[in-house]
Structure 1
Amino acid sequence: MKSINLFSFDLKAQARKKMMIEKFSPELISAQWRKDGTPGVSHETIYKWVWQCKFGNRRDDIQDKRLYLHLKHARRRRKRGNYKDNRGLISHRVSIEKRPKIVNKRKRLGDMEVDLIIGKNHQSGLLVTLDRASLITTIDKINSKKPKNIKRLLMKRLSGNKFIKTITFDNDQALSLHHEIAAELGVKTYFTRPYTSQDKGSIENRNGVIRRFYPKKDGLL
């Protein structure tokens, strides 16, 4: 993959279109280039470009100064290495850094990722689950972010899956009953580092695809 200095005008135009119109995340854009055999750039390079446009004053970047608004965490991205989360502590939270290394290999079924796509009113949205090995994805509509509601939906969705071994969550207070879910399913739960999208790149990519069909601005969530 090319560095940001070799991020060509044509590649920027492609990335801009995919972010603004197709609602792709940088991770999904980079993956699509690899799939198509296009000599593109990494998702980290795309992020660097987006934030360079926001904070810089280069003439070539002016048109993309608000491109960051098309990122999932547009107003909340943190510098790498700064993992302090001001949204409140989640009890019994175990960091992804303590997750078994075998999960990273994607060679077994049952290592799940869970995330929320929040709608326009910040309450309704979608509950997304993904198996890291098979990439099988499920979507459930939510009408409330209350932890009890999220737990109920997750238990309904996952209780019949005998393969589940681990669940990796995003850092959202709506998932604060994770320890109850773990106890009832007999699995281990882990949390990504706050604002570190690469910790759950698989489900981030899925979310990018899902957003294409359920755009927040159209009030479909």
Structure 2
Amino acid sequence: MRELLVGRRVLTFSDRADIAVGIRAGHTDRQIGVEIGRDHTIVWRERRRNSTKTRGYKPVAADCKAEDRRKRPQVRKIDADLVLMVRVKADLLRSRTPRQIAGRLHLEARDSTVETMIKSPDAQGRTVSHEAIYQWIYAMPKGELAREAILLQSKRTVRKRRKPVGERTGGRIIGMVSIDDRPETAADRRVPGSWEGDLVIGRAGKSAVATLVERSSRFLIMLGLPEGKKATGLADVFIDRVNDLPALMRGSLTWDQGTEMARHAQLTVATDLPVYFAHPHSPWERGSNENTNGLIREYLPKGIEITSHQPYLDAIADELNDRPRATLGYLTPREVFTKLLNDNVATTA
């Protein structure tokens, strides 16, 4: 229970993770508010604004929605200042670039000996950045741009969309912790709770299932992904499932460098499960997971669309967890996994 906070401090991801845990436990908004140290009306408003009809309240998705809402357009500096707007429009009509316009405005403002350019209205000391000019242009409807005869040298009327982290096909994931920094206990198969994970991809890369394999027992968990490979959806699915695991089985997770794990930091905050990343093109660093994914392909062959129906995926995992394995002395993964849990209970009793 946290001390009640006053003021306008925005909810953090940790708060949202605690709200999700409280919802799953059946707590009321008032009870959750007491746990996170916020008024119950804040919890009610958070659930109302950031829940979905199909998936309910998921902390990573809620955090992303709140972040997007904070980025909503505000009144732009050029629109709010008629003198500045007239000057910028006049210079654009003379085929000057936003960087040239911004640079000249700053020069005129700081050097009184520099006169206003010919055919340019006096800006009266106003300045604006080139980025603000670009954003102002891109925010204008195409019809208005045509009427004002505003045309950039690039001929673009909209800014090329940059995909957010987690949707990019390349690039480095922010905050990655290398497998080289993984504790020695995580590499020791005799220590339970270390997991290896990856995706099994469906037809045309549009569907996928997440697979987790516990290194000591080879116990398999398969997770349906209704949103495909999106990092936000993957993190929320993981948080729900990992929080159901006993603390003993939340030692670490080793993943490859696919950007579907771009939300690893939120996953760790919500579950206390640290995530480590294998080296590129090194599947042997997640050998148990790679071998298990090969077995899964018996049920989900390449070229098919992979379902996100969890009971069906659970049935596949159940069959594989009940197969005796030579590497386990012909015990099944379920038998070894259960024994690990029972031994831990006996030790702590």
What is the TM-score of this pair, normalised by structure 1? Answer: 0.58
Match of 1:166 in 2: 252
Is contact 1:124–1:141 with CA below 8 Å preserved after alignment?
no
Is 1:111 matched with 2:202? no
> CA-to-partner distance for each residue in 1:80-126, whole Å, 9 max, x for gaps?
xxxxxx82110110110111112222112211111111111312111
User: 1:96 touches 1:192 (CA, 8 Å); kept in 2?
Assistant: yes
Q: Does 2:245 align with 1:177? A: no
Residue of structure 2 in register with 1:156 after alignment: 240
Distance 1:149 1:168 in 2: 19
Deviation of 1:160 after TM superposition, in Å, equals 1.3
Supply the distance in 1 between the matched residues of 2:208 and 2:275 (Cα, whole angstroms).
22
Q: Distance in 2 between matches of 1:120 and 1:176?
A: 22
**Displacement over 3 Å in runs of 4+:** 218-221
**Distance verdict in 2 for CA 1:213–1:207, change over 3 Å:** same
5 Å matches for 1:43-82?
Answer: none
Secondary structure of 2:204's match? coil
| Unaligned runs of at least 5 residues, structure 1 | 1-85
- SS state of the match for residue 87, structure 1? coil
Residue identity in the other structure for 1:108: V
Match of 2:281 in 1: 195
Post-superposition offset of 1:220: 4.6
Q: Secondary structure at the match of 1:212?
A: coil
TM-score normalised to structure 2 length: 0.38
Letter in 2 for 1:153: V
SS in 2 for 1:130: strand
Task: Say which of 162, 175, 184 aligns to 1:92.
Answer: 175
* Whole-angstrom distance in 2 between the partners of 1:120 and 1:139: 18
Please say if residues 197 and 255 of structure 2, whose CA atoms lie closer than 8 Å, have aligned partners that are also in contact.
Answer: yes
Query: Could you report, residue by residue, the CA deviation over 1:6-44 in whole angstroms, capped at 9, with x for unpaired residues?
Result: xxxxxxxxxxxxxxxxxxxxxxxxxxxxxxxxxxxxxxx
Conserved? CA contact 2:194–2:251, under 8 Å:
yes
2:178/2:277 contact within 8 Å kept: yes
Shift of residue 156, structure 1, vs aligned partner: 1.4
Partner of 1:206: 292
SS, match of residue 203 in structure 2: coil
Structure 1 residues 218 and 146: alpha-carbon distance in aligned structure 2, compared to 1, 3 A threshold: closer
State the SS of the aligned residue for 1:108.
coil
Q: 1 CA distance for matches of 2:231 and 2:306?
A: 22
Could you list the runs of 5+ residues in structure 2 that have no partner in the other structure? Answer: 1-168, 308-349
Q: Percent identity?
A: 26
Give me the whole-angstrom Cα distance separating, in 2, the residues matched to 1:154 and 1:133.
20
Is the Cα–Cα contact under 8 Å of residues 207 and 305 in structure 2 kept in the other structure? no
- Using CA pairs under 8 Å that are at least 6 residues apart, name the structure with larger relative contact order, 1 or 2: 1
Q: Which amino acid aligns with 1:102?
A: T
Amino acid at match of 1:210: I
**1:139 counterpart = 2:139:** no
Counterparts of 1:139 and 1:88, CA distance in 2: 27
Whether contact under 8 Å (1:117, 1:126) holds in the other structure is yes
- Alpha carbons of 1:142 and 1:197: their partners in 2 closer, same or farther (altered >3 Å)? same
Partner SS state of residue 200, structure 1: helix
C-alpha separation between the residues in 2 aligned to 1:110 and 1:206? 17
CA–CA distance in structure 2, aligned partners of residues 176 and 218 of structure 1: 26
Max radius of gyration: which structure? 2
